[in-house]
């Protein structure tokens, strides 16, 4: 019985030390590190976003005048920012481009594609802990 109690106490201390290290705002003696805000019991650890599914795939090939749909499903915590660009230029919804962000999914539909739609599209999610971005290469053929 004594050994089990000691093991439980050691596990609790190890857990507390790991929490202190991961939060980084405390020096594990109860004191606040300088130049850091205090961490309350309500603090939630923000993890980097994860892409769970890419659809239909990273290489897209469609014929001129057709419609193409691509996107991803993700998992993220904290405040997120959706990333959607063609090359360096952000893309927005328009008559030919529909962007749906429902729950944890980003779906982009390009209608009536032409050769000017050829290129690399970046779709992803960003939060305070990092970002996850997928490159889609679209090729429009005649």
98 neighbors 84 (Cβ within 8 angstroms): no
SS3 2: helix
d(C-alpha 135, C-alpha 91), whole Å: 14
Query: Per-residue pLDDT tens for 22-74?
Result: 555 444 444 444 445 555 555 668 889 999 999 998 899 999 999 999 999 99
Query: Per-residue pLDDT tens for 109-137?
Result: 999 999 999 999 999 999 999 999 999 99
Q: Which of 78, 91, 79, 70 is nearest to 138 (CA)?
A: 70
pTM strictly above 0.85: no
**Per-residue pLDDT at 130:** 94
């Amino acid at each position: 019985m004594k050994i089990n109690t000691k093991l439980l106490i050691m596990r609790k201390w190890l857990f507390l030390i790991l929490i202190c290290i991961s939060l980084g705002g405390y020096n594990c003696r109860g004191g606040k590190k300088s130049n850091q805000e205090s961490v309350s019991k309500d603090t939630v650890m923000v993890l980097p976003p994860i892409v769970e599914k890419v659809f239909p795939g990273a290489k897209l090939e469609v014929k001129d005048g057709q419609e193409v749909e691509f996107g991803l499903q993700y998992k993220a915590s904290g405040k997120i920012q959706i990333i959607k660009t063609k090359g360096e230029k952000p893309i927005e919804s328009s008559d030919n481009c529909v962007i749906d962000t429902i729950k944890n999914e980003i779906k982009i539909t390009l209608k009536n594609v032409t050769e000017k739609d050829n290129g690399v599209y970046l779709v992803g999610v960003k939060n305070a802990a990092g970002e996850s971005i997928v490159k889609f290469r679209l090729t429009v053929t005649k």
